[in-house]
Amino acid sequence: MSFINKVIRPDVRAVQAYHVPEFSGFLKMDAMENPYTLPSEMQVRLSEKLSHVALNRYPVPSYTDLKNKICQKMGVAPGYRVILGNGSDELISLISVACARQDRRVAVMAPVPTFVMYATFAQWAGLHFVGVDLRPDFSLDIPAMLAAIAQYQPAVLYLSYPNNPTGNLFDRRDVLALLSAMENCGIVVCDEAYQPFAQASMMDALPDYPNLAVMRTVSKWGLAGIRLGYLSAQDALLDEWEKVRPPYNVNVLTEAAAGFALDHMDVFEQQASALCGERAALSEALAGMPDVQVMPSFANFLLIRVKNADRVFKKLLERGILVRNVSRMHGLLENCLRVTVSTPEESGLFLAQFKACLD
């Protein structure tokens, strides 16, 4: 037996590495990236600012200025602070690590299908992931959720709000019911990655629910490349999560770029609102095609159902267009594809090719 087999966990060895294929030259409509870049005069000012960053120094690990700016500008509940992560992916990892006690089996729960990283990081932290099926219309199955909460007493319940990959926004009353049900057993993390496109947030519920945490990212907003997520909750909880955070997890270039972006919120807000308009146009165009079902979306992507998702996906690839085939992720997603909302030009290209891919 090689040392690798002896040393590396069997469940780690068993999985395939997450393969991100290179699709240079492809029309990328798979990753919910904002297709718009910064106006060129802003690029010049940003590079000027970045050129003065002290790359020889560690970041100041309290990140006080950036955190304060996020609290002021991103609508964090008054009196609440945030902790920062290298993307919200890292925050999910930290949340998992902090509750992964060794003396008993700890459960983490989420309605499914949802963002896969909740289950992945739960597994790597040694937690037991419990997925509770959504209803066929992708709403929360509250009786099933309440039963599962009573049975597993999860330490964490993740709610992607809006939900990836279904695109819908759970009913606020349902979310509040789950917060109450979780009050004595665990934390409810509302993952608001798509908040710029949703016009809805659970942030205002923070003061009423000491077990609520609200997580966001700048990725879908237009800064996926800088890797920055933030998480707000009551101070005592943030203090515990701070202990498991690598001290310099947000690098100085990200810190400077994020500070710059927050001083130019209007640019990002205009882009988000343009994308919301484009979402409506794309949705309408797709819904008018034969045998295409378009789900309502509060995010910067559309979940669509076609007759044969595998075939359409493959044909799109042959034509240089990359979408996400989620049809095998969960029974409720049979024959579903997830398409990122893009510029009118890219959407036009996509629509023309997509039409040709339907039989």
Say whether residue 88 binds ligand PLP (CB under 6 A): yes
The one among 27, 140, 157, 193 contacting ligand PLP by CB under 6 A: 193
Three-state secondary structure readout of 65-114: HHHHHHHHHCCCCCCCEEEEECHHHHHHHHHHHHHCCCCCCCEEEEEECC
Q: Which is nearer to ligand PLP, 188 or 292 (CB)?
A: 188
| Closest distance of CB 117 from ligand PLP, Å | 7
| Closest distance of CB 84 from ligand PLP, Å | 11
Tell me which residue of 349, 101, 298 sits closest to 196, measured CA to CA. Answer: 298
Sign of CA dihedral 45, 48, 54, 56: positive
- Select from 66-74, 81-89, 245-253, 314-322 the region that touches ligand PLP (CB under 6 A): 81-89
Q: Which is nearer to ligand PLP, 81 or 338 (CB)?
A: 338
3-state percent breakdown (helix, strand, coil) of the chain, nearest 5? 45, 15, 40
The one among 106, 229, 245, 302 contacting ligand PLP by CB under 6 A: 229
Q: Which is nearer to ligand PLP, 88 or 327 (CB)?
A: 88
Q: Which is nearer to ligand PLP, 96 or 160 (CB)?
A: 160
- Burial status of residue 14 (CB atoms within 10 A of its CB: 0-12, 13-18, 19 or more): exposed
> What six digits make up the tokens of 137?
């219309």
| Whole-number Å distance between alpha carbons of 122 and 255 | 28
| Whole-number Å distance between alpha carbons of 225 and 284 | 30
Total residues at the site for ligand PLP (CB under 6 A)? 13
Q: Which is nearer to ligand PLP, 191 or 255 (CB)?
A: 191
Say whether residue 164 binds ligand PLP (CB under 6 A): yes
The footprint of ligand PLP on residues 249-278 (CB under 6 A) is none
Contact 130, 160 (CB under 8 A): no
What mask of x and - would describe binding to ligand PLP in positions 15 to 34, judged by CB under 6 A? -----------------x--
- Select from 84-92, 105-113, 232-240, 259-267 the region that touches ligand PLP (CB under 6 A): 84-92
The footprint of ligand PLP on residues 337-356 (CB under 6 A) is none
| Whole-number Å distance between alpha carbons of 49 and 254 | 12
Q: Which is nearer to ligand PLP, 190 or 292 (CB)?
A: 190
Say whether residue 115 binds ligand PLP (CB under 6 A): yes
Measured at the CA of 84, the angle between CA 239 and CA 220, to 5 degrees, comes to 145
Q: Which is nearer to ligand PLP, 118 or 354 (CB)?
A: 118
CA-CA-CA-CA torsion for 320, 321, 323, 328, nearest 10 degrees?
-50
The one among 93, 160, 249, 297 contacting ligand PLP by CB under 6 A: 160
The one among 35, 87, 196, 222 contacting ligand PLP by CB under 6 A: 87
> What six digits make up the tokens of 308?
């044969």
Say whether residue 191 binds ligand PLP (CB under 6 A): yes
> What six digits make up the tokens of 274?
């343009």
Which residue type does 130 have? V
DSSP conformation letters of 25-75: TSEE-SS--------HHHHHHHHHHHHTS-TTS---TT-HHHHHHHHHHTT
| Closest distance of CB 19 from ligand PLP, Å | 18
Collapsing DSSP states into helix, strand and coil, what is residue 250?
coil
Say whether residue 217 binds ligand PLP (CB under 6 A): yes
Q: Which is nearer to ligand PLP, 224 or 358 (CB)?
A: 224
| Closest distance of CB 17 from ligand PLP, Å | 18
Q: Closest residue to ligand PLP, Cβ-based? A: 87
- Interface ranges with ligand PLP (CB under 6 A): 32, 87-89, 115, 160, 164, 191, 193, 217, 219, 224, 229
